[in-house]
Amino acid sequence: DTGVSQDPRHKITKRGQNVTFRCDPISEHNRLYWYRQTLGQGPEFLTYFQNEAQLEKSRLLSDRFSAERPKGSFSTLEIQRTEQGDSAMYLCASSTRDGRNSPLHFGNGTRLTVT
Amino acid sequence: DAKTTQPPSMDCAEGRAANLPCNHSTISGNEYVYWYRQIHSQGPQYIIHGLKNNETNEMASLIITEDRKSSTLILPHATLRDTAVYYCILNRDDKIIFGKGTRLHILP
């Protein structure tokens, strides 16, 4: 399967701990996106990359959140000093070059539970 | 925030065509209409998109009105596996902004 892969699928952590999620996009997709989804809501945009460059960050992405895509392939999303409000599904998506006429392909997400 | 309006929920009998409406009266000339769906506990799945013309693929048909202010997603023969939340989205900038979508229930 050559779809978007996310790891881990589930993560349970205690408040105050740091967590890191990984996303492997579809090969040769140079755009990579992170979204967050809470129960009953649609996904919320967090940030996106064109190759290794982070082009936009949502105001939702507080200083505790950092995303990287060091070699323009896989990406990581780190949350420092987790809070209970960080509990959500974190979704990764990828697309080819210009997003306007290129569908996003999503992974099945990492579900984070902060206790 | 989302620039589309969708009914919060709809029912459709299994085997019948499911017609999901979407209003996007403020659409710009270069914005594409996209449809995604999300089945419980999975990531959103791309269905179809279009700019001006009607589009059809193996999953669905997309009908866009001539003034582009509304569109309809058609699932020709709905099955129980089509039960999901369906999102109608305008692709502006280089990212997509999700609204709350339509929760489609397929009734056996």
* Contact residues on chain B for A91, CB-CB shorter than 8 A: 43-44
Chain A CB contacts of B102 under 8 Å are none
Sign of the dihedral through C-alpha B105, B91, B43, A65: negative
List helix spans (H) across B24-93: none
Only one residue has tokens 């900038």, namely: B93
Lowest mean pLDDT among A36-50, B48-62, B88-102: B88-102
Q: What is the CA radius of gyration of chain B?
A: 13
Q: What is the three-class DSSP state of A91?
A: strand
Average pLDDT over residues B83-96: 87
Which residues fall within 8 angstroms of residue B34, CB to CB, at 6 or more apart? A103, B46, B48, B49, B88, B89, B90, B91, B96
Contacts of A41 in chain B (CB under 8 A): 100
- The H-or-E segment that residue A45 falls in is strand A44-50
**Which residues of chain A are modeled with pLDDT < 50?**
none
> What local confidence, expressed as pLDDT, does residue A71 receive?
87
Nearest beta carbon to residue B95 from set A48, A103, A109: A48
CB atoms within 10 A of CB A89: 21
Determine the pLDDT at residue B1: 52
pLDDT of residue B29: 85
State residue A98's pLDDT score: 66
B interface test, pick of A104, A105, A110 with most B CB neighbours within 10 Å: A104
Q: Whose CA is closest to A6, among A75, A107, A94?
A: A107
B43/A48 touch (CB, cutoff 8 Å), yes or no: no
- As a whole number, mean pLDDT of residues B19-43 equals 93
Amino acid at A96: T
Interface test with A, best of B51, B95, B98, B100 (most A CBs within 10 A): B95
| pLDDT given for residue B51 in this prediction | 93
| Model confidence at B60: pLDDT above 60 | yes
Residue B10 pLDDT greater than 60, yes or no: yes
Percentage of chain B exceeding pLDDT 90: 79
pLDDT at position B75 is: 98
